Copies of this chain bind each other. A is one copy, B any other.
Amino acid sequence: MKYCSQCGNTVSQTIPPGDNRPRHVCDGCGTIHYSNPNIIAGCLPVYGDRVLLCRRAIEPRLGFWTLPAGFMENGESTEQAAARETLEEARAQVRIGDLYTVTSIIHLNQVQMLYLAELDQPEFGPGDESLEVALFSEEQIPWDDLAFQTIRNALRFFFEDRRNDHFPLRHIELETKPGTYIAK
């Protein structure tokens, strides 16, 4: 950020009174501009014993497989965001169930929230951001071609938990180093 979005003047990095970390503060009108983490909402859509994955048509990780998920928008709930992303990316209507993974992706300033979800019908197709969409059984999951560590975690937990028919909320912190994570 270089300019104030309110008045167009330049901004400086400074710690405002009563605060304890540097913010972008306008040199003209004094507005403090905060930057905070974003929420990525998505789901793990299940149909029978298979899971719905999307192959990404966009960067990052174009061509790799992922669960439907994307930035939560203003004016919606986390569950609405998860259902909307699934409709947009996989053209699938899902019933959103329990919250399943909450991952703080610390180095990206993101919190990813994935819900368990059910497909009533095997009806789906690639949205604008997907090359293809398909159902996978556990044996068919393209583990080496998954787009993100968060997706790998969610799928690994899911198949593990399915053996016990018990799906506790998984809390994960992802740090900078790829492959490093703390699961609770």
Q: Does A140 lie at the interface of the complex (its beta carbon under 8 Å from any beta carbon of B)?
A: no
Q: Does A85 lie at the interface of the complex (its beta carbon under 8 Å from any beta carbon of B)?
A: no
Give A8 Cβ to nearest chain B Cβ, in Å. Answer: 4
Q: Across the interface, do B18 and A7 meet the contact criterion of CB distance under 8 Å?
A: no
Q: Across the interface, do A71 and B169 meet the contact criterion of CB distance under 8 Å?
A: no
Give A174 Cβ to nearest chain B Cβ, in Å. Answer: 9
Q: Does A3 lie at the interface of the complex (its beta carbon under 8 Å from any beta carbon of B)?
A: yes
Contacts of A106 in B (CB 8 A): 75-77
Q: Does A120 lie at the interface of the complex (its beta carbon under 8 Å from any beta carbon of B)?
A: no
Query: Known: A8-B2, A171-B99. Contact between A111 and B33, CB under 8 A?
Result: no
| Closest Cβ neighbor of A37 among chain B residues | B72
Could you list which residues of chain A lie within 8 angstroms of chain B, going by C-beta atoms? 1-8, 10-11, 18, 21, 33-39, 71-80, 98-99, 102, 104, 106, 109, 111, 113, 128, 169, 171, 173
Q: A2-B8, A36-B73, A39-B111 are in contact. List 9 more A-B contacts (CB 8 A).
A: A2-B6, A2-B7, A3-B6, A5-B11, A8-B10, A18-B128, A36-B38, A36-B72, A77-B104
